[in-house]
C-alpha cells in the first residue's frame, strides 16, 4: 500500500497539522495526532493519500503564494524515519489530499 520510500506498514504514522490565516484572527488550528487516534473518515483519507507514490508527489507542487484571506495548511506526516512536510493554501489543496486535509481540520475542531 505504501509507495517507494515509505517504511514498513507496521510503522506508526504520526501527523502534525496546522491551519492558519483566514478572514478572522484566531482561527488557527493545531493538531498533533497518532494515526490510531483518527476517526474512520480521517484514517481512510490518510491511507488513500499514502497510496501509490505517497506524499512525495505533493512535495513537488509549485507554490503560488497565499491569496487574501485564505487558510494555509501545513501537514507533516512521519512514518518510521520517513517524514513528508507539505504546505498548501486553501485554493491549492490537491484534490487527492482534500479529504485528508478537511478530515484533519474537523478532527482538530473537536
DSSP labels for 27-43? Answer: --EEEEEEGGGS-HHHH
Separation in Å, CA 44 to CA 36, 39, 63, 86: 12, 9, 27, 19
Contact 76, 15 (CB under 8 A): yes
Is residue 12 very low, low, confident or very high in pLDDT (cuts 50, 70, 90)?
confident
Taking residues 49-67, report their average pLDDT.
74
89 located within any domain: yes
10 has pLDDT over 60 = no
Domain hosting residue 73, numbered range = 13-109
7 located within any domain: no
The domain total for the chain is 1
Other CB atoms within 10 A of residue 45 CB: 21
pLDDT tens-digit series, residues 23-57: 776 788 999 999 999 889 888 999 888 888 788 88
96 located within any domain: yes
20 located within any domain: yes
Strand partners, 88: 73
66 located within any domain: yes
Amino acid at each position: 500500500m505504501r509507495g517507494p520510500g515509505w517504511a514498513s506498514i507496521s510503522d506508526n504514522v504520526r501527523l502534525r497539522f496546522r491551519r492558519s490565516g483566514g478572514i478572522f484572527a484566531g482561527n488557527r488550528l493545531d493538531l498533533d495526532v497518532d494515526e490510531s487516534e483518527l476517526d474512520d473518515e480521517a484514517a481512510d483519507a490518510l491511507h488513500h493519500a499514502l497510496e501509490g507514490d505517497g506524499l512525495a508527489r505533493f512535495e513537488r507542487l509549485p507554490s503560488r503564494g497565499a491569496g487574501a484571506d485564505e487558510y494555509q495548511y501545513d501537514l507533516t506526516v512521519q512514518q518510521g524515519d520517513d517524514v513528508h512536510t507539505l504546505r498548501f493554501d486553501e485554493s491549492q489543496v490537491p484534490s487527492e489530499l482534500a479529504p485528508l486535509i478537511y478530515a484533519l481540520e474537523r478532527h482538530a475542531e473537536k
